[in-house]
């Protein structure tokens, strides 16, 4: 069974889906007049606006962004980058960033549409609601929305939960000899305590964890890069040479650098998958484009900042050539240890644990919202209990089958969401254009 699911996963995540993901990002970038790129500085400045931090009894747009970032800042930023570099070479990092830059328009569009198609007074939604209300014929929209929600629930248990707690347990065991069963018990209990409080508590914990772990990790990575500053020009030159050379683009089926860079970039920031739109729809405020711009900044930070410093730390340290087959978190740990010693390995292990746990919390809300869409609001308590139990099980289990099922669910989530984004691209472009003057004004703050 595992072999079959792995083969199906590989087929689904082949060149056609990657081309659809990247192609949708390119189309939306052009369709919106490159507004995602032109207005990125202004969108970053929006995060300093008092209105973004204010809520009317619900959660603020900034808190919604922290919840969305909690789900995307995970093992992909540490393990995924190292895996991409091992499989696709240094050029894969450039393609991660290229995919992220075109993914900005996709992230803007899916989050904008999630707020645009809420009814007045609602504080819940996502791509499934957008499809049901925005697509024609209505029956097709409902079918697509139901399919998206079903696979979002599956993804929440797999890649959003069990895979994350497994990475957490592995990291803590390797760095501090914490038995996996202790991590399993703690993960399950703490997860249940947090998610029982609903989106308010999840957003509160995420708002504390995300800045803390991001700043700590970025500080460590910056120290590693600074410690190898003389190697930076050669490392950057090698990245672009391998990324844009003919062997990178034409080698194999689609080129290892392109294939692994695009795949891992999308895995990291989830642009085009629709997951962040569920968190965006929970925020206060009735301006759709405001939420789109804010969440667009999250995608930029996730890949173009966090993943970039991970990749630079690995490439500048030279461990990619000398690691002797090390991959994933082990490769990142070697890079950090090259400057920070054993404390570098401990820092990476703690960051893996925190990144993983934050992903569990973010996905808990997204999966629960998708489930209640399918059930008409029922099943929250059952879902929370099952989700917390899965968090514990994931920490002590071999997850080959779970990984395969998760990849399948992620792929099947992405397809209806991408088709919906293409169909409603005109609506997203109008919303961006209408709010653009406000973003440009914020740029002057």
- Using pLDDT thresholds of 50, 70 and 90, give the confidence band for residue 56: low
CATH of the domain at 317: 1.20.1740.10
Average pLDDT over the chain, rounded to whole? Answer: 87
Q: Mind listing the pLDDT tens digit for each residue in 151-203? A: 999 999 988 899 889 888 888 888 888 999 999 999 999 999 999 988 888 88
Please indicate whether residue 140 or residue 66 has the higher confidence score (pLDDT): 140
- Using pLDDT thresholds of 50, 70 and 90, give the confidence band for residue 313: very high
Task: Tell me what pLDDT residue 442 has.
Answer: 62
- Using pLDDT thresholds of 50, 70 and 90, give the confidence band for residue 253: very low
In a domain, 361, yes or no: yes
Average pLDDT over residues 249-272: 71
Task: Tell me what pLDDT residue 124 has.
Answer: 83
In a domain, 11, yes or no: no
Q: What CA–CA distance (Å, rounded) separates 163 from 33?
A: 38
In a domain, 9, yes or no: no
Dihedral sign for Cα atoms in the order 95, 97, 102, 103: positive
Measured in degrees and rounded to the nearest 5, phi and psi for residue 271 equal: -65, 125
pLDDT at 141 over 90: yes
**Which tokens hold the place of 35?**
């507004």
pLDDT at 292 over 50: yes
Q: What percent of the chain has pLDDT over 90?
A: 46
Task: Tell me what pLDDT residue 120 has.
Answer: 78
- The boundaries of the domain holding residue 331 are 36-442
Task: Tell me what pLDDT residue 445 has.
Answer: 41
- Using pLDDT thresholds of 50, 70 and 90, give the confidence band for residue 109: very high
Q: What CA–CA distance (Å, rounded) separates 335 from 333?
A: 5
Average pLDDT over residues 80-93: 86
Average pLDDT over residues 54-81: 79
In a domain, 157, yes or no: yes
pLDDT at 57 over 70: no
In a domain, 17, yes or no: no
Average pLDDT over residues 375-391: 93
Please indicate whether residue 249 or residue 379 has the higher confidence score (pLDDT): 379
In a domain, 291, yes or no: yes
Q: Cα 227 vs. chain centroid, distance in angstroms? A: 29
pLDDT at 252 over 50: no
Residues 301/43, Cβ–Cβ less than 8 Å: no
Helix/strand/coil percentages in the chain, nearest 5: 85, 0, 15
Task: Tell me what pLDDT residue 269 has.
Answer: 84
Please indicate whether residue 54 or residue 384 has the higher confidence score (pLDDT): 384
Q: Tokens 């990475």 label which residue?
A: 167
In a domain, 40, yes or no: yes
pLDDT at 403 over 80: no
Note the pTM of the prediction, 2 decimals: 0.90
Number of domains in the chain: 1
Question: Could you give the 3-state DSSP secondary structure of residue 34?
Answer: coil
Residues 97/308, Cβ–Cβ less than 8 Å: yes
In a domain, 126, yes or no: yes
CA-to-CA separations, 77 to 84, 154, 354, 355, in angstroms, rounded: 11, 22, 12, 9
pLDDT at 254 over 50: no
Residues 433/201, Cβ–Cβ less than 8 Å: no
Residues 408/5, Cβ–Cβ less than 8 Å: yes
């Amino acid at each position: 069974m595992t072999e079959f699911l792995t083969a199906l996963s590989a087929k689904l995540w082949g060149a056609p889906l990657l081309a659809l993901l990247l192609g949708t990002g390119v189309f939306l970038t052009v369709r919106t007049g490159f507004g995602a790129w032109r207005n990125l500085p202004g969108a970053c400045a929006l995060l300093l606006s008092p209105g973004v931090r204010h809520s009317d009894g619900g959660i603020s747009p900034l808190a919604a962004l922290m919840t969305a970032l909690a789900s995307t800042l995970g093992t992909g930023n540490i393990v995924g980058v190292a895996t991409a570099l091992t499989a696709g070479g240094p050029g894969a990092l450039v393609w991660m960033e290229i995919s992220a830059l075109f993914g900005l328009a996709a992230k803007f569009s899916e989050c904008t549409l999630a707020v645009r198609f809420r009814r007045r007074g609602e504080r819940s939604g996502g791509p499934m609601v957008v499809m049901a209300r925005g697509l024609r014929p209505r029956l097709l929209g409902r079918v697509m929305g139901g399919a998206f929600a079903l696979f979002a629930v599956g993804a929440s248990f797999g890649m959003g939960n069990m895979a994350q707690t497994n990475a957490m347990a592995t990291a803590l065991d390797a760095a501090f000899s914490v038995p996996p069963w202790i991590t399993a018990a703690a993960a399950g209990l703490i997860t249940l305590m947090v998610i029982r409080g609903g989106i308010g508590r999840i957003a509160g914990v995420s708002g504390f964890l995300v800045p803390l772990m991001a700043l700590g990790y970025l500080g460590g990575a910056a120290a590693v890069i600074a410690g190898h500053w003389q190697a930076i020009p050669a490392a950057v030159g090698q990245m672009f040479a391998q990324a844009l050379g003919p062997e990178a683009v034409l080698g194999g089926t689609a080129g290892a650098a392109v294939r692994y860079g695009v795949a891992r970039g999308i895995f990291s920031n989830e642009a085009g998958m629709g997951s962040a739109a569920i968190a965006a729809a929970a925020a206060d405020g009735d301006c759709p484009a405001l939420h789109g711009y804010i969440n667009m900044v999250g995608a930029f930070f996730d890949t173009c900042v966090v993943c970039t410093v991970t990749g630079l730390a690995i490439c500048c340290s030279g461990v990619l050539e000398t690691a002797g087959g090390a991959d994933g978190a082990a490769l990142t740990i070697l890079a950090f240890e090259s400057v920070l010693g054993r404390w570098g390995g401990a820092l990476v292990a703690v960051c893996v644990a925190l990144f993983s746990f934050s992903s569990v919390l973010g996905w808990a809300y997204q999966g629960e919202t998708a489930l209640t869409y399918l059930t008409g609001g029922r099943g929250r308590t059952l879902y929370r209990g099952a989700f917390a139990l899965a968090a514990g099980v994931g920490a002590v289990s071999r997850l080959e089958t779970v990984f395969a099922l998760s990849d399948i669910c992620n792929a099947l989530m992405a397809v209806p969401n991408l088709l919906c984004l293409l169909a409603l691209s005109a609506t997203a472009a109008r919303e961006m254009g209408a709010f653009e003057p406000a973003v440009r004004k914020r740029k002057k703050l």
